[in-house]
Structure 1
Amino acid sequence: MDVMKLANSLPMWIACGIPVVFVMIQALLFAREAYRSGEKVGLTKTQMNKAIKSSAVTSIGPSIVVLSGMLSLLVTVGGPVGWMRLSMIGSVMFESIAAGLGTSAVGVTLGTDPMTKEALTMAIWTMILCSVGWVLFGTFSANKMEKIEHKLSKGNEGTLTTIASTAIIGVFAAMVASHLSNLFIF
C-alpha cells in the first residue's frame, strides 16, 4: 500500500477524529463555563455577546497561519494527522520540526525524500511524544503555577521575565547552533 494512501485512510481519519472531538467538547465546556462566570460577575448578555464576537474575529488571523501549516503537514504526513495535530497543539513550527526530526531518524528528509512507512510512523510518534510533556505538565501543575512563579521570582516580576526570556533564547540557540556550525566547516 502506498504510504500516503495509508496516511489518508479511513482508519486514520477515525483515529485522528476522536481526539479532535474531545478538543471540540473541551472548547464548548470552556465557553459554557466562561459564559456562566460572566453572568456571575454581572456582565450583561450584550457585553458577553460582544466579547464572543470580538474573540471570534480576532481568532481568524492565527487560524489562517494554522491552516497554512496544516496544508504543509497534509502533503507530508497526511490530512488526518495534520488536522489532529494542529487542532490540538496549533503550533505549525513545532509540528514541522518534530515531523522532520522523526523522519530524519530513519534517513528520510521531510518534504524532499519520498515518505516511507517507517518515516511516517517516526514522524507521528515524534510529534505525539514530544508534546506529551506539555499535556502532563499542564494537567498536573496548572493549579500550582502561581506558587511556582512566586517561588522562582521571589516576588520580583523582572526575575520571572528574565527566566522566560533566557529559556526562549536558549531553545532557539540550540536549534540554530547546528546550522551555524555548518557555516564554519570547510
Structure 2
Amino acid sequence: MVWARFEKNNGEDVKKEFKKQPFKKPQRGVSREEIKDAYISGQSIGDICLAFDMSPSNIHYHRKRDLEAGVDWIALRNENKRDLSDLERKKDLFLKKLIDAFEEILKSSGGEPLEPRLLQDFANAYYKIVSPKTFDAKFLIQKSAEETIATIAHLALEQNKQEVANFLSENADLLIETILKKRV
C-alpha cells in the first residue's frame, strides 16, 4: 500500500509518497535483554530494528513491559550517557560558581550582616547535588536475580543438565517477578 502526504517546500505543496512498512516479527532468539542493552548503549530505534530485524512497535512494546515491571529504559539510557570521566572538575567548577554567587550576595548586601542560615542553605544545595544518588532497590534485586539465573543456567549446561537450563530460560521472567514481589 502506498501512502502520500503533502508538505510545504519553499511555499509549494510537494507530494511525498512512501510505502507503509509491514509488521515484522522479531527474530527467534532475540531476548528483551539484548534489545534493552542495545537501547541503553545509545543505539537508535532504527539501528536496533535493523540489527534485530523487527519493527519499532516491538521495541516500544518491550520497553513498555519493562517499565510496568519497574525498569525504565530511558532513565538507564540517560544514566549511561553521563560522562563521569571529569566529574571532579565539574564538582570544582560548580563549587566555584556557588562561592562566587555567595560572594556576590555579600557584596550586594552593602556590609549588612547576613543571616547565618544563608550560607548553610548554599552548602546544603551543593551537597544535595553532589551526594550519591539513591539506589533503586527493585532494579538491583532484578539485576541480581537475572545474573543468578543466568549463572545457574550456564552451570546446568556445562554439566549437561539441559532440563534445568530449559526450565530457567522458559521461566526466567516468572522467577524474577516472584522474587521482586517477595523483596519489594
Q: Same fold (TM over 0.5)?
A: no
Structure with the largest fraction of helix: 1
Q: Which has the higher contact order (CA 8 A, sep 6+)?
A: 1
Whose Rg is larger? 2
* More strand per residue: 2
